[in-house]
Amino acid sequence: MNSKADILLVEDDQNLGFVIQDALKRKGYTVHLCRDGKEGLKYFNEHVYDLCVLDVMLPQKDGFSLAEDIRLVNAQVPIVFLTAKSQTEDRIAGFKAGGDDYLTKPFSHEELVLRIEAILRRTKGTMEDPRSREVFQIGSYTFDHRNLALKHPDEERKLTKKEADVLRLLCMHRDQVLPRELVLNMVWGDDTYFLGRSLDVFISRLRKYLKLDPTVQIMNVHGVGFKFQVG
């Protein structure tokens, strides 16, 4: 089981991050280590993980906010929080943010490994990451994310990686409001004003690419994000 488990570790303490990463690797896990919340979210968008280990006090985006964004994309992936805080309200906040377990620093690395193994025994093989789906039917279009292809009976178009990533997020949140901040942080790794303008350009392009089917709509939700509807 361990050799097939991929873990996202987001920890800004460099020494602690390396120690945890090494402990997990020695147990056979593949571990991607990130230093801040925004980098962690971008990594999460680019890979499929079996479990996430998140420090709470992270720069750029705190662990609770990161967990909430991760839950918008995958409601099932297990999340373990690491924190220097032990107050009950912090533990409650962690579980409300979607956490499955909570360790207070300092903790035994062996205990962390054992808790991770216990969680994976319960969840491995029962979860399906929505992003493992690569082909989507969008009205009269077929969208193949892996091959960056958007096909219509009358034309076929090759997408850029970012165009494909944005369209996949829209497909995954079909008939739901997709927050702009989530798209920016997952695809670009930041949510600055100038990148926001770039996202608007990408949305305009996708509307143009999908115009052969009038039932397909990408609507702006003022001040929040976008809503993708078909039919």
Dist CA 198 CA 192 (whole Å): 10
Q: Which residue in the block uniquely carries the two structure tokens 């143009």? A: 208
Q: Which of 130, 161, 180 is the endpoint of a domain?
A: 130
Here the tokens at position 43 are 């990594």
Q: What is the pTM of this model?
A: 0.76
Here the tokens at position 74 are 């995958």
CATH number for 154 = 1.10.10.10
Q: Is the pLDDT of residue 125 over 70?
A: no
What is the C-alpha radius of gyration for the chain, rounded to an integer number of angstroms?
19
Q: Which of 130, 146, 177 is the endpoint of a domain?
A: 130
- pLDDT band at 45, cuts 50/70/90? confident
Predicted pLDDT of residue 3: 53
Q: 124 and 21: one domain?
A: yes
* Tally of domains within the chain: 2
Range of the domain at 139: 135-230
Q: 23 and 116: one domain?
A: yes
Residues 55 and 83 sit within 8 Å (Cβ to Cβ)? yes
Q: 93 and 173: one domain?
A: no
CATH number for 85 = 3.40.50.2300
Letter for the amino acid at 158?
K
Q: 220 and 143: one domain?
A: yes
- pLDDT band at 129, cuts 50/70/90? low
Dist CA 184 CA 189 (whole Å): 6
